[in-house]
Structure 1
C-alpha cells in the first residue's frame, strides 16, 4: 500500500504558473514564484468555499464559508495545523462533530456535515453572525440582570438538551456562548464534551478554562451535568459582576483549586444584584457537586424566581456598567442596614468617614465629594468588603487608617502617609476603586515629600495594582494611571466633575508641577483650592495643600520676574533674597530645586564680575552643584538610565565629604549599568526564553525573544513581538531576567562579578535588604569587594 501523501497542484490566478501546495494548510496565502502575485489556495472543501477567517480557538480555526450547493452562509471549523497530524486530536475533532450533530436544539449550534479535504477534517455548521458573551462582557463590563437572566434561561435549555443526548459540554464559558442576529443564545464548541455512562464520565485531560472549570475536573474526578452547572454559574458570575471568580494571576492547577475554595459570594462583589440572583449563581458554583442544583429543572425554577424579583422591584443597574457613571441604587435593604451600622459606629468614634458603601468597580462612585454648601448630609464613601462577612470593626479600622494618612499629610509626614496609603491599596478588605484611589494618594504623598524616585516607585506600584485588579484602561482611574506614568505634561485634564475630583486634580497638578510645567499646574491648584469641601471631608487637606503651592508660586514668580543683577552688589542682594525665599517656601520638591538652580546660575554669573577683593564662596557653589546633580542622578536611576546617572555625578566638582558621596553613587550606577549592558549581550535561545516580563504599564509578556542595546523584545502567544526599553520594564522583572541569564555562584570570579552587579542594582532599585544580604555573602569570599562595600556604607551614612 502506497502511503505517499497526495500531491496538490494549484495555478497562479495571475500568470497560470503551477505551484506545489501539498504542504500548505487550507486558505493559505501563497506567493507565486513566477510573478510574485498572492493567491489563496485550498479554499474549496467539498461543496464549501472558504471566504475568510472568522475566529480562532485553542485547537481549531473557524472560517466563514459559502455552501455553493444550497447557496447559504456556513461556518467551517478546521483543526489547527499543529494538531492536524495528531491522530488523537483528529479523533476528538471527529467526535465533537458527531456529538454536536446529535443535539437538535435552537440554542445549540447546528452541525450540517463532517468531511475531510487535503488531509484535514472539517465541520460545516451554522454560521452565527453575532458576538460572543466574552466580547459583550469586555464591551459592557457587568451585564444587567434583566438582560442576563433571560439569556441564562436559553443557556440552561441548550445544556439540558445536551444532557438528554447523554452529553456534558465540559467547556461552558463566555467565549462559547454566541448570539445570533436576533440576540438569542447559540452554544458552541463541544470539543471537550464527554458521553456520559450512567450519568457520569471521567476525562483524561484538562483543557477547560480555569475560571470556569469545576473543582472535580481539576483533580481528575468524575463529572456529570452538575459540572456544566458549575461552569454556567461561573460564567454568570463573570457576566453579572464584571469580574471573573478569581484573578488571572493564579495559574497552577493547585493554586486554581485553592482559589475555588475562597471565591467571594456574588453579593459581595456585585451588591446591586437581587438576593435571588446571587442565590442562583452561588448555588450553581457550590464547591461540592452534591450541593449544586440537582437538575436543570430545579435551576430553572431558581432562575425564574430571580427574574420575577427583578420584574417586581426592577433590576438594579450594574455599578460597573459603562452607562452608569455616577448613579447608585439606594433600595437594597441589606446595604441600608450596613450603612446604618457603619454610620452609627463611626459617629460614636468621631470618624471623619460617614457612610461606608459596599461596592465594586466604578469610576465615579468611590466617594461622594463635598461640594457646594457642604451641609451635614454631605458624606464620604469608602468602599469596603460587604456581604454576609461584613465586619463593622474592620470598616472602622480602615476608616481610621485613611484618616490617619490624611492627618500625616497635613502634618507634612509624607513618607509615613505614603506607607499607610500603600498598605490600604494592597488590603483585601478595601475594594475597587477605593484601593486604586489609595494608590493614587500614595503617589501624591511621594510627590509632596519631594523625592522623584519615591514617586516613580509609587506610580509603578499603582500601575501594577491596577493591572492585577483589571481596572478599566478607558475609565478615569485607568487613564490617570497611564498619564501619571507617561514622561510628559498632562494637558488633557478630565475628571473635574468626578466625585474624586480633589484627589484626581491634585495628582495631575503635582505631576505637572514636578515636571516644571507650572503653567499647567497652577490653574489646577486654583480649582482645588476653590473646591469647598465639607469641614469633615477626608480630602479637605488637598485644598489646603493647593494653597501652599499657590503661595510658593507667587513668591517665586515675583523674584523670577526681576532683571539679572548687573554687578556684585546686586548679585549678593539677590542671593540674600534667594536664601530668604528658601526659608519661606512651604513645599518640597520642584520649588526648592528651582530656587537652588537660580542660586547656582547666579554663583556662576558672579564669577564673571571683576571684583578680586570680594571672591565668591566656592564651597556654596560646590554644594549647589552637588545637590542639583544628585537630584538629576535620582531621576535618571528611576528610568533605568544608570550610565547617564553616573555621568551626571561625575560632571560635578566637589570637595570634602561630598567626594565620598559622589564616589558612592558613581560606583553603584556604573556597576548597575554593567548589569544592564551584560543583559543586552545575552544570547537568547531561538525559541525564546519562557518567563513573565512585567512592563511598567502593568502588561505582562510571557516570552523574551531577544535582547539588544536599550532593551529586549518580548511577545505573548498569537501576538506580534514588541520592543521594551529598560525604562519600560519593572525593575524586579529585569532582575529575574538577570538571574535566569547567569549562574550567580560565589565559587568563581565571574560569578562574584555578577553578584556585585546584582548588589548595586538591587540597592538602586530600593531593595536594600536583599542587596545587603547578597553583599554580606560576597564579602565573605571576596576581600576587595568587602573593602569597597565598607567604604560605600560609610559614605551612605553621610549622603543625603
Structure 2
C-alpha cells in the first residue's frame, strides 16, 4: 500500500519580483495576487518536469490539466489527484493502480499513459493528450449522434475494452465523459481508476463507484459485476448518444431509488425515435437486464456493431437505387400486376397437378440422399422433404454454414410429413451442427429426442446407443476401440459424432484420434460403395469433409505449448507469443481453443502481475535513487560557491560537470545550476575580450566602495583592469568590480552589436550572470524579454526555474 508523505510547507517564486510565496494551502494552478509586488500570478504550475498550461477537466477525485513536458518537449494531459485523496492512502493506491492498469493496456482505442509521480503533496498521472473533446461534450453540443456514427464509436470503444478484458480487467465506469476523441475522430477510452482484476476477488469495498445513469442493474441490486456489466454501461452510453438521453433517469443519491429505477427494462424502441432493426438488436442486447442475456464478450459486441454498420451502408445504397428507379417502376407497375395475375392463375393449376404426381412417387424410388431418407411431397407444394433435407445437409457439409443448416433441420423436424428414419437423421444432423457451433445444450436436446422404435430400417440399436451416450455427458472419454460401432454401414457416423463431441466439449487429443479413425475407415466403406449398386452408402463418405475442416488443427493440438508454473517476464512473454500464434492458426473452435484462451489469459495475468511488481520495484528504486541524488545535490550546492574565486567559475563548473545523478528531475536541477555557471563564465570571457580590444568609458563601482570614472581596458587574460584617469592610470584586480558594474559595461557594449544571434547570446549570458550574482530583478527583466522572442532560450531557462536557483 502506498503511504502519502507527511504534510509540509511549499513555497513558490513570484516570476515578477522573485519573492517566495507560501502556497501550501493553495490548489494547483491557483491564481492569486502576489503579497509583495501586487501582480496576479499563477502558482503551483510546475509538477516535476511538467508545466501546467490550462485546466481541461475536473472529476470527483481529480482535476485534469494540459501541461508541457519540458524534458521531452510534448503536451500531455496531467491528471492530479485532489488534495484530500492525495493524503488518503486508500485512494492514493487506487489512483496509482489506474496508472499501472492503463500502462498495461496498449491499444489504439485506449489513452496512452506516460508516467506517474508525486510532487508538492499531490499524486499525478501524465498521459496522452487528445484534442477532439469527449462524447459527453458532443452529445451536449449536437443533441444526439447519427446512427452510423454512434455505432462506429461504440465499436471502437468495445475494441479498446476488449484489450482490457484480455488482461482480465473491467473498466467499471464506462460513460460518455470517459470516451475521448482524437483530432481525426478516433474514440479512446480513458479513466481506468475504478478497474479491477477480476481474478483477484473483485471489489470487496461494498461501495458503488460508478455513474448512476450507466451502471448495470446487478451492481446496484446485488453489488455484483463482471465484464458484462461494462457491456451494459457501453450500451447505455451509446443509447444516450443515439437518443440524446440516458436510458435511466437515475439522478438520485439514494441506493434504494436507484435499485428501483434499474429494475425497469429499457429498450431502444421505447425512445420514440426510429432506428434500424439491427441497431435495436445490438443496443437492446447490451441493455438486457440479466448479464446472461447480454453478449458474452466484446468480440461479439464488435461483430454485431460492425454488422449493424454494414447493413446501414447497404440500406443507404439501396435507398438511392430505389429513388433513381422510382418513376420507371411506377410507369410499368400496372402492366406487371396484370401479367402476374394471369400467370398466377395458370401456374396454380399446374402446381396442383405436380403436387399430386409427387405424392404418388413410391418410397422405394432411388433418391440422391441415399438410403434411409424417404421422398415425400411437402404440403407447401414447393420442395419435397428430400430436397429440403439435401439442401440442409449441403449447407452443413459443403458450404459449412452450420447455423443455417441447423435452422433448416429444425424447421424440417416441424413437418408432419416427416417419417422415420428421416426424422432421426434430421435430429442427428441438427445435433452435429449444434456441436460444431459449441451449443452443448441444443445438441443434448436433439439426442434426447431420438426415436428408438423398431421402424428404423434396422438402425434402432445404433440410435439407442447414440441416445444413451450423447443425451447425458456426450460419451466423453471413451476410446474409439470401445465404442463398438460398425464401420461398414451408417453406424460409422458414430465415430464422427464422438470425435466432434470430444473436440468441442472434452479431450481434443482424443477427439482428433476418433476423427482420424472415422476418416481412415471411410476408405473401406468407399471401396465397398464403388462395387455396390446404386443403393450403396456412398452418401456417408461426404461427411469426410467435416473432418477435413479439423485436420489442420490436429498438429497444433499435439504440439501445443504446455503451461509453466513460473518464469521470468521475458520467458512468460515468449510463451504468450507462442500461445497467441497457436490460437491465430486454429481453424476451428472447441475445447482446445478454450484451453488455449485460458492459457493465454493465465499468461497475461502472470505478465500483468509481474509487470506491476516490476513497476513497483522500479518506483521503489527510483525513490531510493532520488533520495540519494538529492543528498548529493545538496552537498554539491553547498560546496560549489566556495569554489568560485572572484569571477573564475572554472572549478565550480568542473565540480558540477563531474557529478553523476540517476534521477531525471534531480539531474534537471543540477543541469540548471551548471547552465548558470557556464553562461556566467562565458559572460566574463566575452566582457574581457571586448574590454581588451575596444575598451569602455564610464563610471565603475568597486566592491569595497567608491567609484571611478575613466577609460577602462583589461589585459587579454582578464585578471587586471586598467583605468585611465585625468591624473594618470590605475590598475585594479578584475574581481574588485561589482557585478552591477560588469553588467552595465556589458549592456553598453551590447548596444553596438548588429548581429541578432550574437546579441541574443550576449543577453542570455548577462541574464545568467545577473541571476547567479543576486541581481534577480535585472535577470528576470532580461529573461522575460528573451523568453518571448526565443523559444530555445525558454527551454533552457525553465531548467533554471526548476532548480529553484
TM-score bracket, shorter-length normalisation? 0.3 to 0.5
Q: More helix by proportion, 1 or 2? A: 2
Which is greater in Rg? 2
TM-score when normalising by structure 1: 0.38
Give the TM-score normalised by structure 2. Answer: 0.38
